[in-house]
Structure 1
Amino acid sequence: MIRRAWKWAWPVVLVIITTVAIGTAFWVQQGRIDAGAARYDNLSAKYDRLFTQYSRLYGDCAESTSCEPTAPAPEAIPGPQGSAGVAGPAGRDATEAQIAAAVRDYCDARLGCAGTPGVGAPGRDGDGKDGKDGQTIVGPSGPTGATGATGATGETGAPGAAGADGQPPLSWTYTDPLGIQYSCIRTDPFDPTAPTYSCAPTPIGAPQ
């Protein structure tokens, strides 16, 4: 077990040493870059101050009547031109929706792209012709509305005419004190104004 542990210990130590060495080199190189950038910024600031002072002195001498500048006029020295970059891929044409959105945003920022009012002479009235009468168009009938609420009860009407006289019954039954039931029917001939009936005991089993 101890030999196996030492077998894997050396690679781990080697990886740690390599990582520390790379990190130290990167830190040192980054420090050099930062220091160089700081020196460049310092020199650039000094150059700007000197150039400003020289420009001011040259201008004062040029404006003065008792001073004639012999030194060259202060001019910014252009730096070296950089190399051209790699050409990018061809762009896609804008869609109609993108064009419409761009125009809408442009007009919204400029009060709707309204132009200045035109200046011209007022128009004169003309004798126009009467237009044709419009046609009346009858639309389809609408759906039947819901049934309205029941109205209030109206006033009582006048009494109607008297009805016709009633007729005596066609037949009738009665029971005597002994419990015998009799059926009575009209006699023939029958006079409604003086009705008469013929009565007889109801047969047993006859419908009541």
Structure 2
Amino acid sequence: MAAIGILGTGRVGSDLGRALVAAGHTVVIGSRTPESAAGARDAVPGATYTGPRDAARTSDIVISALPGHVALDQLAELSAELRGKVLVDIANATTGAPTMRPLHTDASLAEHLQRALPGTHVVKTLNTMLFTVVTDPGALTTPPTAFLSGDDTEAKRTVASLLGDLGWREEWIEDLGDVTTAGATEALILLVPHVVRQHGLRPFAVSLAR
């Protein structure tokens, strides 16, 4: 099992931490206030809390559960610690409510991350669903799809294996190609406000029907 670093202590990061600990991984959660995060009500049992730099440095795979609008700036500060690592980007960088339009209009967040972190293998995934589906894909009546975008084939294989530990079946995972394809999945954020407006925060995901 791998050592997984999770940057971010919100609902997404905490859910991922619990699921990955349950799957047998060593989980290190990076927070700018690690002592407070470790003592919070939703702290992850079995995970270690430390600063973001230490979490990135000591992990084999790093998952960014940071809000999309701050992810680029905060991750760029960790370029040395992330060098040679797989960075899993699961965020959508948006202008915020109510429009929820993509923040970056020239390229996707994943592309910006790859440019800022040339020594890191960025893989985009898990950004086309409500956060609860990330760690419980089998709860939906229709099988969801987890899309992968990234330049490194081996890094995408590593991430696909990690998704398997979260309950994602192999046939639910779709490799779209290089990191430029992340622009397509990030654009799907345009659907989200309308889906939530109609149905509330009921679990949903984009599914590729065949």
Q: Given the two structures, how large is their TM-score scaled by the length of structure 2?
A: 0.16
Q: Given the two structures, how large is their TM-score scaled by the length of structure 1?
A: 0.16
Greater RCO, CA 8 A, separation 6+: 2
Q: Which has the larger share of strand?
A: 2
